[in-house]
Amino acid sequence: MSSSRTPLADSALDPAIAARLKRGADGLVPAIAQQYDTGEVLMMGWMDDEALHRTLTSGRCTYWSRSRQEYWVKGDTSGHVQYVKSVALDCDADTLLVKVDQVGAACHTGARTCFDADVLTTGDPRDQ
């Protein structure tokens, strides 16, 4: 598959949900994973209709890997599982928020979150 892939035509995603999604040209929607009880933002992955269907029905996060061009279930190889607590669609219907119970590291580098190593600012620039 090329990087301009489209969602699977035969996805079992509820048609009412599928009709609401605003996908990119590649058929993907960004999915933000957030720790359900602390609010910690863990990572961002990509989902198409089938990945979202699998996430909603399995209770585990399934993403589409753009680099490998395949589905992956978070934790299947690393053991760092994401158990789904809730899934919400943002007001523009173009981003998913997946609240999870993260077991172990969320980042492929082994860090708890993908957003703690490269902080660009820590305050309001108007205060400086």
- Spatial CB neighbours of 121, under 8 Å, sequence gap ≥ 6: none
Q: Cα separations (Å) of 125 from 25, 81, 122, 128? A: 35, 37, 9, 5
Check the annotation: does 91 bind a ligand.
Answer: yes
Helices (H) and strands (E) in the chain, counts: 2, 6
CA angle 108, 113, 119 (to 5 degrees): 110
Check the annotation: does 90 bind a ligand.
Answer: yes
Q: Cα separations (Å) of 56 from 32, 59, 62, 96, 100? A: 15, 6, 9, 12, 12
Check the annotation: does 94 bind a ligand.
Answer: yes
Check the annotation: does 61 bind a ligand.
Answer: no
Annotated binding-site residue numbers for Zn(2+): 91, 107, 114
Annotated binding-site residue numbers: 90-92, 94, 107, 114
Annotated binding-site residue numbers for Mg(2+): 90, 92, 94
